[in-house]
Amino acid sequence: NAGVMQNPRHLVRRRGQEARLRCSPMKGHSHVYWYRQLPEEGLKFMVYLQKENIIDESGMPKERFSAEFPKEGPSILRIQQVVRGDSAAYFCASSPEVADTQYFGPGTRLTVL
């Protein structure tokens, strides 16, 4: 049973470019969460999605950031016009039910030059 998959593991972008981060949840999990981890900090919640629905995006910046979890395929976190402050590790987690244990992927480390 494969765990949560994220790709790419490392992503380098120049300021102003777009970053697309992908997350495939564990088999049987329909709840996906995205977190951001800045250096020397804990994880900060960004967004919670179920298939085709954004349930809670209270932790996501209002501009440049968007997330989706389509009926088919992985969840995507999209960052438009990246800036240096977006450099961080972005983790995806999935759970079988809401308010259940979250299982984390290995993360995508985004570096903005």
Partner 1 sequence: AQSVTQPDIHITVSEGASLELRCNYSYGATPYLFWYVQSPGQGLQLLLKYFSGDTLVQGIKGFEAEFKRSQSSFNLRKPSVHWSDAAEYFCAVGPNTGNQFYFGTGTSLTVIP
For position 91 contacting partner 1 by CB under 8 A, the verdict is yes
Applying CB under 8 A, among 23, 79, 102, 110 the residue interacting with partner 1 is 102
Structure tokens at 76: 């995507």
Our CB check for partner 1 shows the closer of 17 and 111 to be 111
Binding-site size for partner 1 (CB under 8 A) equals: 27
Q: What is the DSSP secondary-structure string of the chain?
A: ----EEE-SEEEE-TT--EEEEEEPPTT--EEEEEEE-TTS-EEEEEEEETTEEEE-TTS-SSSEEEE--SSS-EEEEE-S--GGG-EEEEEEEESSTTS--EE---EEEEE-
* Residues from 8 through 27 that contact partner 1 (CB under 8 A): none
Our CB check for partner 1 shows the closer of 75 and 102 to be 102
Instruction: Note the residues at the interface with partner 1 (CB under 8 A).
Output: 4, 6, 33, 35, 40-45, 48, 55-56, 58-59, 91, 93, 98-99, 101-107, 109
